């Protein structure tokens, strides 16, 4: 019985770090209790396997990132905000290792993981359309009206670009599963989910999300059949031409692809770079960008609208080195995945994850997708968002499964 309980706790290990986010944001459960729950699987895994977690190619970048977090926390002008961010970023790292350490579980386990991801994305979508910060146009007004009677919650609202970032990452994964997997029912289910979430993304009306998912899907299609480039390139050219021709004639195009918004972002980036010139090694402090920027320029903003600059502000030079190192590792591991057998049960998953990460990396240029700022009457919270950690972990899982030759097209019982 104890062994079954231990294995069950290890199977749900990624979920056991979630209470840390509630402790930081809501104050319950007590933070010490959340951490006790989160680290218990590490001890159990050490008892079973002789190691607290499974090592990965991203270990050194993660260590550098952790050191960058410590530096950012030490120099932060707001230690309370920085400490909350520190806890949630560590929780994201625990989620990463919790997923990777279950790499050898049967395919049925990963179907449950996919189902959980679908429920989370569906919940976020319903939350957004019921009370999020959206852009109602003629083509999506109906869904906002449909969600209007739903119960509301008090607290932060979901920004359209935040939901778009999640959808842009998820859609390539499901559609790649539909293209490459050999198990018919799973392919049809993945196709329905991918097209459904793609429709939601279109209704969200996020220009950056549309462009990001286009990049991710393009990569997936080229890996599936390279000849699709003969269709993709002309289609992209025609779409760009249509946007350019009708940009000033169709009001919603100018809002979805706002040049004023982009120019505003460039202004934030330039001013932030000027601030970083005085702190090139340490950054501005963990979670401190909004406060520092406001004090210098008198403008209240929640983030710099660029994940890479935000990372530098939070973790300084160490965070930048960690990002570059992780990027090199990702590219080095992606090549053997893309050149492996296209018949593998995990090949479609791996290609989709690569496409999703590419989409996320593109949107990160104009949005902050790895962290979130929640403004309240008493101040603000700055927390880590585990989306990047989940995608990186699933990428390593797919790599591990392909490396061991998991090519069975059927789902294991």
Place of tokens 């460039």: 266
| pLDDT above 90: residue 282 | yes
> Considering only 19-28, 112-121, 149-158, which range has the smallest mean pLDDT?
149-158
At 408 the pLDDT is: 47
- Per residue, the 3-state secondary structure of 154-170, as one string, reads CCCCCEHHHHHHHHHHH
Tell me the pTM.
0.93
Task: Summarize the confidence of residues 85-112 as an average pLDDT.
Answer: 95
| pLDDT above 90: residue 132 | no
Tokens matching residue 345 = 């049960």
The enclosing H or E element of 373 equals strand 371-376
At 286 the pLDDT is: 96
Structure confidence by residue, pLDDT tens digits, 353-369: 999 999 999 999 999 99
Task: Summarize the confidence of residues 68-87 as an average pLDDT.
Answer: 95
> Considering only 22-36, 178-192, 229-243, 259-273, which range has the smallest mean pLDDT?
178-192
Tell how far CA 322 is from the center of its chain: 17
Structure confidence by residue, pLDDT tens digits, 50-70: 999 999 999 999 999 999 999
At 405 the pLDDT is: 67
At 298 the pLDDT is: 83
Which is it for strands 371-376 and 379-384: parallel, antiparallel or unpaired? antiparallel
Q: 89 has which bridge partners?
A: none
Cα angle vertex 333, ends 362, 181, to 5°? 80
Structure confidence by residue, pLDDT tens digits, 372-407: 888 776 678 899 999 999 999 999 999 998 887 654
Q: 373 has which bridge partners?
A: 382
At 380 the pLDDT is: 84
At 17 the pLDDT is: 95
Please give the Cα distance from 19 to 25 (Å, whole number).
10
Start-to-end C-alpha separation, the chain: 22
CB 68 within 8 A of CB 322: yes
Task: Summarize the confidence of residues 341-347 as an average pLDDT.
Answer: 75
Please give the Cα distance from 216 to 168 (Å, whole number).
8
Peptide bond into 29 cis (omega under 30): yes
| pLDDT above 80: residue 343 | no
Percent of the chain with pLDDT over 90: 72
| pLDDT above 50: residue 261 | yes
Under the banding of pLDDT at 50, 70 and 90, the label for residue 91 is: very high
At 156 the pLDDT is: 73
Task: Summarize the confidence of residues 13-31 as an average pLDDT.
Answer: 93
| Sign of the torsion angle spanned by Cα atoms 360, 199, 121, 175 | negative
Please give the Cα distance from 43 to 48 (Å, whole number).
9
Phi, psi dihedrals of residue 364, rounded to the nearest 5° = -65, -15
| pLDDT above 80: residue 410 | no
| pLDDT above 50: residue 412 | no
- Length of the chain (residues): 413
> Considering only 129-133, 190-194, 340-344, which range has the smallest mean pLDDT?
340-344
Structure confidence by residue, pLDDT tens digits, 142-198: 999 998 888 877 777 788 899 999 999 999 999 999 998 767 888 999 999 999 999
Residue-wise burial string across 232-249, b where 16 or more C-beta atoms lie within 10 A, e elsewhere: eeeeeeeeeeeeeeeeee
Task: Summarize the confidence of residues 264-289 as an average pLDDT.
Answer: 94
At 134 the pLDDT is: 81
At 377 the pLDDT is: 65
Q: What is the mean pLDDT of the chain?
A: 91
At 407 the pLDDT is: 47
């Amino acid at each position: 019985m104890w062994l079954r309980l231990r294995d069950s706790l290890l199977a749900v290990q990624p979920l056991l770090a979630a209470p840390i986010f509630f402790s930081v944001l809501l104050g319950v459960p007590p933070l010490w209790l959340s951490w006790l729950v989160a680290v218990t699987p590490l001890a159990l895994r050490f008892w079973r396997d002789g190691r607290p977690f499974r090592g990965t190619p991203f270990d050194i970048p993660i260590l550098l990132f952790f050191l960058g977090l410590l530096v950012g926390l030490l120099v932060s002008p707001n230690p309370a905000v920085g400490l909350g961010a520190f806890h949630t970023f560590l929780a994201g790292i625990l989620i990463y290792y919790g997923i990777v350490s279950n790499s050898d579980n049967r395919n049925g386990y990963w179907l449950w993981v996919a189902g959980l991801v679908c429920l989370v994305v569906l919940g976020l979508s319903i939350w957004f359309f019921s009370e999020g910060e959206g852009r109602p146009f003629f083509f999506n007004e109906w869904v906002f009206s449909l969600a209007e009677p739903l119960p509301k919650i008090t607290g932060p609202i979901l920004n359209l670009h935040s939901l778009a970032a999640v959808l842009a990452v998820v859609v390539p994964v499901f559609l790649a599963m539909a293209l490459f997997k050999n198990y018919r029912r799973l392919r049809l289910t993945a196709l329905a989910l991918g097209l459904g979430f793609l429709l939601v993304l279109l209704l969200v009306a996020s220009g950056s999300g549309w462009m990001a998912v286009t990049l991710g899907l393009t990569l997936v299609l080229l890996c599936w059949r390279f000849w699709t480039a003969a269709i993709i390139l002309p289609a992209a050219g025609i779409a760009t031409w249509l946007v350019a021709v009708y940009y000033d004639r169709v009001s919603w195009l100018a809002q979805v692809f706002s040049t004023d918004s982009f120019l505003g972002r460039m202004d934030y980036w330039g001013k932030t770079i000027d601030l970083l010139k005085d702190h090139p090694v340490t950054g501005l402090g963990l979670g401190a960008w909004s406060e520092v920027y406001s004090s210098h320029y008198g403008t209240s903003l929640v983030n710099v609208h660029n994940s890479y600059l935000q990372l530098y502000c939070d973790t300084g030079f160490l965070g930048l080195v960690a990002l570059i190192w992780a990027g090199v590792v990702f590219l080095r591991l992606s090549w053997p995945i893309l050149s492996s057998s296209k018949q593998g049960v995990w090949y479609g998953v791996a290609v989709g994850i690569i496409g999703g990460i590419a989409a996320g990396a593109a949107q990160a240029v104009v949005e902050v997708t790895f962290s979130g700022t929640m403004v309240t009457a008493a101040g603000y919270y700055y927390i880590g968002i585990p989306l990047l950690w989940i995608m990186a972990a699933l990428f390593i899982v797919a790599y591990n499964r392909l490396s061991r030759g998991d090519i069975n097209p059927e789902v294991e019982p």
